[in-house]
């Protein structure tokens, strides 16, 4: 996937985020706000418009929480990542001890036309390299695990992808475990 370009989300890329997170890609409902709402109760009843409004409010307050991958000029994948403790629902749901130095990878989205080609793994590798250059020391991920998972269960990224990238089990959990990776510092 050497042709894949990866960029941190910034204000100039918000329109690309929304182009990727659209109905045509099957990503038009969530808009990657699942961990930003206060609780799981009522999550399924939210409308696409409510989720879009929340995402736009995140953009407006400067919460540019991830990375976009491009093939040419077309955004084909997304990885949500940021300081773990900013997501109260995540820390509460998984009973995580506060630690402002820990970062969390909480979502992956790949456009259907780009699936099955290693895009998510390449995106993950480049995100981790950038985080290491930025001085991040520990990254956690929270994939669903089990025998009967379908594509809809993999929105946090597949556990096998994290294992291949060097993540290790930090805490057992059902259906989500906490996987962690200690990053070496890499000067840019």
DSSP 21: S
What pLDDT sits at residue 91?
94
| SS3 assignment for 94-140 | CCCCCCCCEEEEEEEEECHHHCCCCHHHHHHHHHHHHHHHCCCCEEE
What pLDDT sits at residue 173?
74
pTM of this structure: 0.93
What pLDDT sits at residue 34?
96
The parts of the chain modelled with pLDDT lower than 50 are none
Give yes or no for a contact between 59 and 11, defined as CB atoms under 8 angstroms apart. Answer: yes
Helix/strand/coil percentages in the chain, nearest 5: 35, 25, 40
What pLDDT sits at residue 149?
74
Q: Which residues pair with 138 in a beta bridge?
A: 102, 182
Count of Cβ atoms closer than 10 Å to residue 100 Cβ: 9
What's the CATH number of domain 4-182, 1.10.540.10, 3.40.630.30, 2.40.340.10, 3.40.50.720? 3.40.630.30
Element (H or E) spanning 164, and its range?
helix 159-164
What pLDDT sits at residue 187?
61
What pLDDT sits at residue 169?
94
Domains of the chain: which residue ranges?
4-182
């Amino acid at each position: 996937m050497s042709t894949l370009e990866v960029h941190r989300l910034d204000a100039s890329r918000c329109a690309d985020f929304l182009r990727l997170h659209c109905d045509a890609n099957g990503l038009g409902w969530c808009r990657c706000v699942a961990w930003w709402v206060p609780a799981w109760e009522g999550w399924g009843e939210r409308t696409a418009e409510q989720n879009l409004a929340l995402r736009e409010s995140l953009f407006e307050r400067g919460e540019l929480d991830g990375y976009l991958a491009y093939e040419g000029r077309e955004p084909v994948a997304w990885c949500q990542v940021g300081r773990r403790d900013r997501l109260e629902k995540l820390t509460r749901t998984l009973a995580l001890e506060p630690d402002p130095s820990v970062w969390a990878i909480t979502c992956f989205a790949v456009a259907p036309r780009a699936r099955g080609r290693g895009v998510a793994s390449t995106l993950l590798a480049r995100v981790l390299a950038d985080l290491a250059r930025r001085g991040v020391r520990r990254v956690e991920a929270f994939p669903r695990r089990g025998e009967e998972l379908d594509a809809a269960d993999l929105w946090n990224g597949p556990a096998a992808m994290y294992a291949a990238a060097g993540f290790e089990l930090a805490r057992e959990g059902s259906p989500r475990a906490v996987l962690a990776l200690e990053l070496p510092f890499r000067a840019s």
